[in-house]
A = this chain, B = another copy of it.
Amino acid sequence: MIVVMKEGASKSEIERVMQLLQSKGLGTHLSEGVEMTVIGVIGQKEKVRELGIEGLPGVEKIVSVSYPFKLASRPFHPDNTTIEILGHVVGGDEPTIIAGPCSVESKEGLIEIAQAIKASGAHMLRGGAFKPRSSPYSFQGLGEEGLKYLAAAREATGLAVVSEIMEPGLVDLVIDYVDVLQIGARNMQNYALLKAVGKTNRPVLLKRGFSNTIEEWLMSAEYILSEGNPNVILCERGIRTFETYTRNTLDLNAIPVVQHLSHLPVLVDPSHGIGHSRYVTAMARAGVAAGAAGVIVEVHKKPEEAWSDGNQTITLEEFDRLAKQVRDTHRLVREYQLEASRS
């Protein structure tokens, strides 16, 4: 952390700040330049970041320079993390492909979708049983019944299943049915929930909040990791910007940045990311080209009949093409990465 003093701050103001820092056991480095004076603060990261000294006389501002995440950071764990789920390795040589309806609707419909996406090469089936809806009057999901259908689809196809969990009290229930616990964008900073899934060892798909910085996202991963669960898969799903032609702005910049800062695998969700079915395939390709370990997309037999998110859901035929393009693009990127690691 750097304390920037006001131009013209007095010796005694600078002294007071230095003494306060030292009284808390922190090291200080004073740099007096021609135009400004700054104090570098050294010590345990989280302690340094908690200081509220900006209101002291002579202090202009506080500037943070260190990253607050540890277990999630690349220096802590230089190699990429890989996570095996029912035989498929997330973060491995093949791209992870997850697909399924926004909401679980019927058992037969779900199994039909599962069989189709499996034939197209998907590794996992997604489907919402508990749905976070902005309106209390919208369909809230089938609940446990939906989980049962997911389990049935897994049995029928061998696909792993992914479903969202929205409250700590339901971890015990959901974990009986699903292979991957999804934390949705709206709950990315629901710390009670993060701690609860961190206490299991089940893989967690942690979506980025639609207005959360990359740093906050990795800090939420840190919550899960610090409870003892190392199986965190990140998922970029679009951030909120001023643009309104797209539902969100899928932030592919986050992909290489996360890979630089962290060892955790990261997927992209182009369905929520761009929000219109006609653009989903292009963004899936782009996500993998940016370096993502795979994709998660919404599919339905008849999107126009889907109970939720129909506008961003693609058909089974479109999914078949998407899966192929994702595999091709991933193969290309994998080669570049291998080349780079050899040189």
Q: Which residues of A are at the interface with B, using a C-beta cutoff of 8 A?
A: 2, 4, 6-8, 20, 27, 29, 31, 33-36, 38, 40, 42-46, 49-56, 62-63, 65-66, 68, 70, 75, 132-139, 166-169, 186-187, 189-193, 195, 209-211, 213-216, 219-220, 222-223, 226-227, 239-246, 249-257, 260-261, 273-274, 276-279, 282-283, 285-291, 303-315, 321, 325, 328-329, 332-333, 336
Asked if B66 and A35 sit within 8 Å, CB to CB, the answer is yes
The complex is assembled from copies of this chain, and their number is 4
Asked if B168 and A167 sit within 8 Å, CB to CB, the answer is yes
A252: chain B residues within 8 A (beta carbon): 250, 252, 283, 286
Closest to A27 in B: B33
* A334, chain B: closest CB distance, angstroms: 12
Given A191-B166, A241-B241, A273-B253, does the pair A313, B45 have CB atoms closer than 8 Å? no
A6 and B136 alpha carbons, distance in the complex (Å): 23
**Can you add 6 more A-B contacts, CB < 8 Å, to A55-B278, A186-B190?**
A6-B75, A49-B138, A55-B310, A135-B219, A242-B242, A283-B290
Asked if B287 and A291 sit within 8 Å, CB to CB, the answer is no
Top-7 shortest CB links A-B? A52-B310, A211-B211, A289-B289, A286-B290, A54-B311, A33-B42, A167-B192
Picked from B49, B255, B305, the residue with its CB within 8 Å of the CB of A282 is: B255
Picked from B40, B49, B209, B314, the residue with its CB within 8 Å of the CB of A31 is: B40
Picked from B27, B210, B227, B311, the residue with its CB within 8 Å of the CB of A62 is: B311
Picked from B36, B139, B226, B286, the residue with its CB within 8 Å of the CB of A136 is: B226
A313 and B51 alpha carbons, distance in the complex (Å): 12
